[in-house]
Every structure is written in C-alpha cells, then in structure tokens.
Amino acid sequence: MPKTDTRTEYRAADRGSVTRPGPARNPNEVPPRRPRREPPYAPETQPAAEGTDDDDAPLIPRRIGRKEIINFTSELAVMVDTGINLSAALGHVIEQAENPSLARIARELKAAVESGEDFSTALSRHPKLFDKVYVQLVRASEVSGSLGSMLDRVVEEGRRDYDSRGKVRAALAYPAVMLFASISSSVFLLTYVFPKFATIFSGRGITLPLPTRIMMAVSNSLIYYWYVGVLGVVLLAAALTWLWKSTSGRQFLDGVKLNLPILGVMFRNAALSRSLRTLSTMLSSGVPMLQAIRLCGDVSGNTMYEQDWIKVADGVAEGRQIHELIATSPRFPKSLAQMIAAGEQTGRLGSILTRLSDYYDRELELSLKTVTSMIEPIMVCFMGFVVGSIAMALLLPIFTLSRHVG
C-alpha cells in the first residue's frame, strides 16, 4: 500500500508583520531536540473586531448634562418598578443611551453591581454626576429595599431643582444681555461714529462743550489704548476666578450675593428652598438626622448657608434643638425658627419642613417675577443714559456750529 504524504505547510508572520511560508513537515515525525530560543516568527492573529467600546468612544468625551442624569434616573426607576433587576435595567439604559459618555458611566455601574458592590458605592465614584443627596437617598433605599420608589423621588426632586435653577439663570440672563448690548453699542459709537464727527468739529475751530471733550477723551482712549481695557478685563476675570476658587473669596462673593439689592432676596429664597426641601426628603427617606442636616449646606449653593447648616449639625450632635440653632443665624428668618420649633414639639417635623419648602418655592417664584419686572426698566434707563450721553456729545457741537453760521 503506498504511503500518503501527510506533510503540511504553514504560514507565519515575523516581527515586521511580513507573512512567510514555513517548511513542509510530517506531523507524525518527532522533531530533533534543539536548544530553546526565541522563535523568529509569531503566529498571525485575527484583527480585532470592529465596534468595540474603544472604537466607539469619542476622541473628545461628550459632557453629561444634569437633564440627562434626571432622564437616566427616570428610566432606571421605571424599569426597577416593573420588577426588572438593577443589572438588567442598567443594561437597557446602556442600549438606549444616546450619549457615549453616559453609556460608559452606566457600563461601569453595571459592572460594579454585577461584582456584588452596592449601587450607592458605585454612584459615589462619580460625585460630579451624582451628588451626595443622590447617593444618600439610594443608600437609604438599599436598607429599606425600596429602590424604585426612591429613584422616583430623586427624579422629582431633581426636576424641581433643575427648573428652579433654570428660572434663576433666566432671570439673570436678561440683565446680562442688556448690559452686553449697551456696552457693545457704546464701544461702536465711540470708536467708529464719534471720531468722524470729532474730525469735523476740530476743523471748524470752535470751542467744544465739556460733554463732547469728555467723550473725545474716552473715544481716543478706546482707539489708542484699547489694550489697557483688554488687560483690565483679563485681570478682573482672573481676580474673580481666584476669588471663586479660594475658600475665603468664595465666602466673600456669596456674602455679597445675599446682600445685593433686588437680587439678594432671590438668592436667599433659592438657598432656603433647596435646603429645606432636601432636609424634608432626607428625613422622610430614613437618612440619619446629622447626615441630612450636613447635606443641606451642600445643596444650598451658598457657602454662608453651608457654614450655618454645619453649625446646626454640630449643635444637634451636642443635643440641642434645631430651632434654637437656626435662630442664632441672621440669615434664617425668625418665622422659620418658630415653625421648626412647632414641628419639633409636635413630632411633625417632616410635614412642617415640606410646607416650609413649598412656601419658599412660592417666595422664589415671586422674587423672580420681582427681579424681572424691576431690572427691565432699570436696564432700559441705563442704556438710554449711555446712548443719550453720546448723542448729546454729538449734538451740542452741531448746535454751536449752527449758531455761528447763523
């Protein structure tokens, strides 16, 4: 019987990724023993499959907005309420997420939960996305076993806070836009329109009125020394940034915000509304009193109120009543201390706090309307004064020339 040739050939890639054929060899042959050395060729590997997470990740990570976190929590709450386990719910969120950055965060949370880690612990690794209140509420739900209902509460509070902050920003945006428009129009008039008239006035040899001379000096400064103004703006922005990032500077700016005319009432109502709403939610969810009070300062958005709430927490730890400690701060209204005292005496502190937070929500709405209604005429008058001053500086020399001609 003739022997069949059972030798096989193979191909391998060297270190330069060049494919080379190998010699044919019978697989039944026993190769001779050779000294061990590094093989000159490496087996070819299949290219990585497309569509991996690294391939899908954008070069510049997309920012995750506050509204996306609220929607993420809402979707998670709905699926958990329907009986889907947390890991599967996170998987559905990953599939539906349009933001790759949010999908990556959800993937990390899913991996942590599947490894046996608490959901609250996994959330705490992303403090910029999930604040302390969010984490504490989830932690409380893990103890009580009511994650779905707690996530619903987180969504409700998150939407209320998001709407509140949006209204405050909208109220501040109008005066900011008006101020920018007035400054831009003034710079345009002084650097483009006014110099042309100034040339005409100078050639007539008349004595210019004082307002015109002042505007000419301002115009020349903007034209020939514009870099001084730019440098001043940069230095002012740097100083404000340094103040905002430093502890003492942040306290100074927050104190100024609370004492501003018209706007100060709005900032105080916003801080009280957030703090009291958080305290009510945390206590009704089973979060310990001291932790709940300390978190009130974190959500207030003002370091002055944050210090006040820390003092309240320290006093409660010593056995004192909340209303006694609140009454010592001038930033808390006396009526607030009296209402909290009634809640502590009757054992209905939670319901009293809910009513107080609703009250300050309404006060915030009223203060926002007041700010909008009062700032609008103020800014219109300011713009009229600026533009009118420039117009007067232009018209006075014209009247003087007309008298000379007459």
Q: What is the pLDDT of residue 247?
A: 84
* Secondary structure (DSSP) of 44-69: --PPPPTT-HHHHS-SSPPP--HHHH
**What is the arithmetic mean of pLDDT over 183-203?**
81
Q: For residue 367, with 0-12 CB atoms within 10 Å meaning exposed, 13-18 middle and 19 or more buried, which class applies? A: buried
Q: Specify the range with the lowest mean pLDDT, choosing from 33-47, 137-151, 199-213, 391-405.
A: 33-47
**What is the arithmetic mean of pLDDT over 166-187?**
84
Closest CA to 26 of 9, 44, 1: 9
**What is the arithmetic mean of pLDDT over 217-239?**
89
Q: What is the pLDDT of residue 61?
A: 66
User: Is 222 in contact with 233 (CB distance < 8 Å)?
Assistant: no
* Secondary structure (DSSP) of 262-286: THHHHHHHHHHHHHHHHHHHHHHTT
Confidence class for position 21, pLDDT limits 50, 70, 90: low
**What is the arithmetic mean of pLDDT over 265-273?**
90
Q: Is the dihedral of CA 165, 171, 172, 176 positive or negative?
A: positive
Q: What is the pLDDT of residue 6?
A: 47
Q: Which CA distances in Å does 174 have to 187, 345, 383?
A: 20, 45, 13
Scanning the structure block, which residue is given the tokens 């942590």?
112
CB atoms closer than 10 angstroms to residue 386 = 15
Q: Which CA distances in Å does 166 have to 50, 346, 371?
A: 41, 36, 15
Q: What is the pLDDT of residue 3?
A: 47
As a residue count, the chain comes to: 406
Q: Specify the range with the lowest mean pLDDT, choosing from 3-17, 128-142, 333-347.
A: 3-17
pLDDT mean across residues, the chain: 80
Q: For residue 332, with 0-12 CB atoms within 10 Å meaning exposed, 13-18 middle and 19 or more buried, which class applies? A: buried
What are the φ/ψ torsions at residue 218 (nearest 5 degrees)?
Answer: -65, -40
Closest CA to 353 of 282, 287, 252, 271: 282
Q: Which domains does the chain show, CATH number per domain?
A: 63-160 (1.20.81.30), 163-406 (1.20.81.30)
Distance in angstroms between the alpha carbons of the first and the last residue of the chain: 135
Closest CA to 342 of 358, 363, 321, 319: 321
More confident call, 2 vs 125: 125
Q: What is the pLDDT of residue 404?
A: 62
Residue 353 CA to its chain's centroid (Å): 27
Give pLDDT tens digits for 287-309: 888 888 988 888 888 899 999 99
Cα gap 27→4, rounded to integer Å: 12
Q: What is the pLDDT of residue 314?
A: 92
pLDDT at position 405 over 80: no
Cα gap 131→274, rounded to integer Å: 14
Give pLDDT tens digits for 314-364: 999 998 999 999 999 999 999 999 999 998 898 888 889 989 988 998 998
Q: What is the pLDDT of residue 205?
A: 66
Percent of the chain with pLDDT over 70: 83
